[in-house]
Every structure is written in C-alpha cells, then in structure tokens.
Structure 1
C-alpha cells in the first residue's frame, strides 16, 4: 500500500499587500548567491522585469528594503540582500522547518486518508 508524500509549501499573505512564499525566498537566495537581480531571475527562468517587480513589491512592503541594487554601467551593476532581507529569509526558513517538523504526524495521517491508486 503506497501513500502519497505530502510536503509543506508555505505561503504568507499580509495586508501590506505582500505574499511571501517559496518563489520570493528563492529569488532572494539567488540574489544573495549571484549578486544580481537579472542573473537570479535568469536562474529561475523569469525575466528581469518580473524579478525586479517582485523585489520592488518586497522592498515596498517591509520597513527596510530587502535588496539594495545599483545600476549597471562600465563597472556593471549589482544587488545585495540587506540585513532585513537576510532576516526575512532566515525567519521564512525557520517557519517552514517548524511546520515540517511539528506537522510530520499530521501530514502522514492526512496522506493515509487519501484514495489509493
């Protein structure tokens, strides 16, 4: 008897308005790693415009920006995840871990109730 494996996909919805989920977390993580909004967007298969729009949404919603960017030019531009952005990432990951760890029994019980096929 095989049960489907469930996983938690955290999506936080604020009145700010802001929706914070795995995609924005991954975008921040890639900006931190690659030092570029455009490179992070490309790595995720999204346009620079879309990546920049998501960053603008987060920067507008939080009291302090989550990403600091500089325009391109002879030396090239770049982007860094700010201390606020790093805190957002750390707290988001902590919530995911908490839900996964503390919800394991409930996830298993829900999976056991699924139709077998």
Structure 2
C-alpha cells in the first residue's frame, strides 16, 4: 500500500513544549548566518518575534541558546552557545533516528511483516 507516515516530534519539559522543528530551524539559520535578525527574516518572522521565541525557549530550557553582541554602526551578531549547539545536534540526531524507525514500523505494519492476516 502506498501510504506516507506523518508525525511531529518535539521536546517537552513539565508537560510544555520546549523545542521542536521551528526553533531548530531558527538556530541553524543563526549558526549559518551569524545573526538572529537575518535568521528571522529568512523565516518570515519579525526580529521581535524571533527574539521573544528565543527568550521563551531559553527560560523554559534553563540555559542560553545563543550569545552575541548588540548592533550599531558596525552591526551585531549572534552565535550558538555550546549548549545550544549540543541541543541542536542531539535534536537533529533524534529526528533522523526517529524518522528511520517510524518508517521501519510503517513498513512492518503496512507491508504485512507484522500483521500478515490483515494486510490493507
């Protein structure tokens, strides 16, 4: 059967969502571009939305994800903290492993390996 499996993966703390695909993408863009402002623009967000999201994430996680210097005539910049880099790397690794296992399970269930008698 030609079915696609769809799911969303995020991290929670005390029952509240603290990290997922959107924040991961934002951190990757900050890392690549060296700027929260430019990352926000790329994601069609205002700088204030991006800053508020980052601030909220950091408060819920209990550690800083980025560090940087304020703007001005020479411009500012942002980069990931070591903890931010580790969180992003672990999340992307989990995401990749999870996708592989979900696909294996879907194949087992829908290609008949797990439920021979009731294949769709």
Same-fold status (TM-score > 0.5) = yes
| Matched residue, 2:90 | 91
Alignment of 1:45-84 (within 5 A): 45-84=44-83
Q: Over aligned residues, Cα RMSD in angstroms?
A: 2.3
The change in CA–CA distance for 1:33 and 1:6 in structure 2 (over 3 A counts) is same
**Count of equivalent residues:** 112
User: For structure 1, which runs of at least 5 residues remain unmatched after alignment?
Assistant: 113-117
The change in CA–CA distance for 1:76 and 1:106 in structure 2 (over 3 A counts) is same
* Structure 2 Cα separation of the partners of residues 16 and 69 of structure 1: 30
The change in CA–CA distance for 1:111 and 1:43 in structure 2 (over 3 A counts) is farther
Q: Does the 8 Å contact 2:58/2:65 carry over to 1?
A: yes
TM score, norm. by length of structure 1 = 0.82
Question: RCO greater where, 1 or 2, for CA within 8 Å and sep 6 or more?
Answer: 1
TM score, norm. by length of structure 2 = 0.80
Higher alpha-carbon deviation: 79-88 or 92-101: 92-101
| Matched residue, 1:42 | 41
The change in CA–CA distance for 1:16 and 1:69 in structure 2 (over 3 A counts) is farther
In our comparison, the structure showing a higher alpha carbon Rg is: 2
SS of the residue corresponding to residue 3 of structure 2 reads coil
User: Runs in 1 of length 4+ with deviation above 4 angstroms?
Assistant: none
